[in-house]
Chains A and B, each alone.
Chain A
């Protein structure tokens, strides 16, 4: 079946630097994408979402980029802080189907 995955399982960045977390998806029918942050022992928290009719969306310190040509999604975190350390998941769906999650990338922020 279709799947969503991430290029890198772990990412370490210096505090204050920008972070980029990547995600590849294979379902060309996907029309909704979302990024979640999960801290240890907790449920995922919504970060930002984007629909397929957009290629960029910005939030507070975060930007999501969508490249439908190569089926690629990325999450950019500006001025990464220690509190950003967590596992980040991308997820996608098409129509009314439930979200399909990738395996996640662990972001570690080095003080």
Chain B
């Protein structure tokens, strides 16, 4: 089955640690995205990538970093500079950065908690 896989499902981070969230897709989609969701809130864009080896900051990129070395993979690193990282993180992909039919396909999310 084609899809987008996020791991781990739950992640705990200690103060001052960097953690990396994995996102892999086998849909042959060019574009990939990271969104952050806080309780009772909508999705806010962290970073996005329209093509391999290229990515752009979204609305809340501070304290996060990404890489796009392979078409299938778009890992997100939450650095110690992110002061309030506890949230639900969603990865998505789309055929192109334009509006392909069906919009984005989302993963099942990673819930990050600072302990």
Contact = CB atoms under 8 A, between A and B. Distances in A.
Contact of A43 (B44, B90, B96): B90
B74 interface: no
Interface stretch (A12-20, A66-74, A94-102): A94-102
**Chain B contact surface mostly:** loop
B33 interface: yes
A89 B43 contact: yes
Interface stretch (B14-22, B60-68, B79-87, B106-114): B106-114
Interface string A42-56: 111110010100000
A15 to B, nearest CB: 25
A51 B103 CA distance: 11
Interface in A14-32: 31-32
Contacts of B48: 98
Contacts of A99: 33, 103-104
A100 B48 CA distance: 12
Given A42-B108, A96-B98, A104 B103 contact: no
Q: How large is the interface on A (under 10, 10 to 19, 20 to 34, 35 or more residues)?
A: 20 to 34
A41 interface: yes
B99 A93 contact: yes
B42 A96 contact: no
B101 A49 contact: yes
A94 to B, nearest CB: 10
A89 to B, nearest CB: 6
A89 B108 contact: no
A89 B44 CA distance: 12
A44 B98 contact: no
Nearest to B4: A43
Interface in A67-111: 89, 91, 93, 95-96, 98-104
7 contacts: A32-B99, A36-B103, A43-B106, A46-B103, A49-B99, A91-B103, A104-B42
Given A49-B101, A49-B103, A89-B43, 5 more contacts: A43-B107, A49-B99, A93-B99, A101-B35, A103-B41
